[in-house]
């Protein structure tokens, strides 16, 4: 573990903890490595979502009613 790592206490549901322990054994990675990887991936997804919101910021907004009408007109509902 890198010396710059910070320690935190995290409480897992017992079933999740058991799954993490099993995955840790099977992948030869520590639970910390697995959790760090999962958090990194979640943050990367958030960054992608924020970028998509920024890219679409100038698009015109339509109401819910208008969206339902368009979906119905297109045969999607």
The H or E element that residue 1 is part of is none
Contact at 8 Å (CB) between 21 and 31? yes
What are the structural domain ranges in the chain?
A: 14-73
Q: Tell which residue, 48, 14, 16, 56, has the closest CA to residue 35.
A: 16
Who has greater pLDDT, 2 or 75?
Answer: 75
φ/ψ (deg, to 5) at 60: -70, 145
pLDDT digits (tens, 9 = 90+) for 26-56: 999 999 999 999 999 999 999 999 999 999 9
Rg of the chain over Cα atoms, rounded to whole angstroms, equals 21
């Amino acid at each position: 573990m890198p010396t710059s790592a910070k320690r935190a206490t995290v409480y897992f549901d017992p079933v999740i903890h058991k799954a993490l322990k099993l995955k840790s054994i099977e992948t030869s990675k520590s639970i910390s490595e697995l959790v760090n990887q999962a958090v990194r991936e979640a943050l990367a997804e958030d960054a992608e979502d924020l970028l998509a919101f920024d890219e679409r910021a100038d698009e015109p907004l339509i109401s819910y009613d208008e969206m339902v009408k368009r979906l119905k007109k297109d045969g999607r509902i």
